Amino acid sequence: MDLKRLSSSLLFRVIVAIILGILCSLFFPVWLAQIFTTFNGLFGNFLSFFIPVLIFSLITPAIAGLGRGAGKWLAITTGIAYASTIMAGLLAYGAAHLLYPWLLADSINVAGVDLDADALVPYFDIEMPPPFETMTALLLAFALGVAMTAVKSDTLLKVTQDLERVVMKVISSFVIPLLPLFIFGIFLGLGMNGGLLDIMSAFGKVLILAVIGTVVLLAIQYAIAGIVARQNPWPMFKNMLPAYATALGTSSSAATIPVTYAQTLKNGVDTNVAGLVVPLCATIHLAGSMLKITLFAFAVVFIYDIEVSTPLAIGFLLMLGITMIAAPGVPGGAIMAATGLLASMLGFDTEQVALMIAAYIAIDSFGTAANVTGDGAIAIIVNKYAKGKIKESPDEDVLVDATTAEGRQ
């Protein structure tokens, strides 16, 4: 199944799971609902076990691979992409801080809803302790990735790349297919324990805010690009609209690369610059995804009255930006990569993470469209300084990695 079909199928199955979970909560007997509660407990424990392994296996080769690319312009492009991603997170955090006190004021009572009510306790539970903590995985991946760029350890790089492929197989063949069943169980529990309408109302408002936020983010990105390039940003943005529309349909940054590349050239970007920036940013630039995750995460924080200080929130955004670089290239991959940080830094439980996953996938294509359209703005900025200075094609591995990543979500 190609990525477009997989993405459409996953979105369809998640929507069906939510609807069925709501409907079944109206008539399911407790004994039957407890079967799905048991599954959710086991699957949630597996995710807790697997997420640190996922983070380590994805971030290590990503950092090591970036260090072997096309010299300083690769590093500069990566830095700009990371800065853009962090800017999106800060924009979303600021919007959440300002708007949620009145936008979600009617939903604060959801904090009193017990998602693990006695009526739906699992029949049994199996503890699955992770091999190491999420923060340990992040630090170890970063340290090893940077070290491999210094010592040029091809053997160790190949080992981590093989581990990445194995983990990706687990995600695409096991985790992603079971997500709809997991989400079904969450909404079944919400319906039977109470609080479902409040949750749906709150997340519906955040969904609309997230779509509006992606448009605001693009306006800021192209305003900055216009200032740097000393050009009118509106024509440059209009030139990228075909890429935006294509990404809406494919939900894949990689599948949109040909369109993104062609439209970037129309903005006067040098061929070699576009050849470096567009494939690379299809892999590492996830500003739209960052914005969505941040808005949904702090909606959960507000609704469930989770104590998160501003320094902790900033630290979360900085770490999430690094995690987004290595997000797995499957539909919903970015939110899967973020689940470890949501649990370890913000204190989310498995039910709250599942709500995040469901909401994120519901508007997945809007985040991807913002990602690829923002790639055009980065290309304009890099072109201002690199035009005529990138004489050779970028390292082949960078292009191969970018074009085979199957779309960073």
pLDDT at 399 over 50: no
Residues of the chain above pLDDT 70, percent: 82
pLDDT per position as a tens digit, 345-397 = 898 887 788 888 888 877 777 888 899 999 999 999 999 887 766 555 444 44
Residues 6+ apart with CB under 8 A from 200: none
Nearest to 55 by CA among 129, 130, 134: 134
Highest mean pLDDT among 182-191, 239-248, 396-405: 239-248
Burial (CB < 10 A; 0-12, 13-18, 19+), residue 205, is: middle
Q: What is the dihedral of CA 388, 392, 396, 399, to 10 degrees?
A: 20
**What band does 153 get if pLDDT is binned at 50, 70 and 90?**
confident
Residues 225, 234: Cα–Cα separation, whole Å: 11
pLDDT at 331: 58
Residues 227, 124: Cα–Cα separation, whole Å: 60
Residues 6+ apart with CB under 8 A from 285: 81, 84, 85, 371, 374, 375, 378, 408
pLDDT at 116: 44
Nearest to 357 by CA among 186, 196, 193, 116: 186
pLDDT per position as a tens digit, 57-95 = 877 887 776 655 445 777 788 889 999 999 999 999 999
pLDDT at 35 over 80: yes
Average confidence (pLDDT) over 107-130: 66
Task: Indicate the average pLDDT of the chain.
Answer: 80
pLDDT at 255: 67
Nearest to 69 by CA among 280, 363, 281: 280
Nearest to 335 by CA among 387, 278, 297, 374: 297
Highest mean pLDDT among 32-36, 44-48, 349-353, 356-360: 32-36
**What band does 232 get if pLDDT is binned at 50, 70 and 90?**
very high
pLDDT per position as a tens digit, 253-304 = 766 888 888 899 999 888 888 887 888 788 788 899 899 999 999 998 988 8
Both tokens of residue 356?
Answer: 């995040």
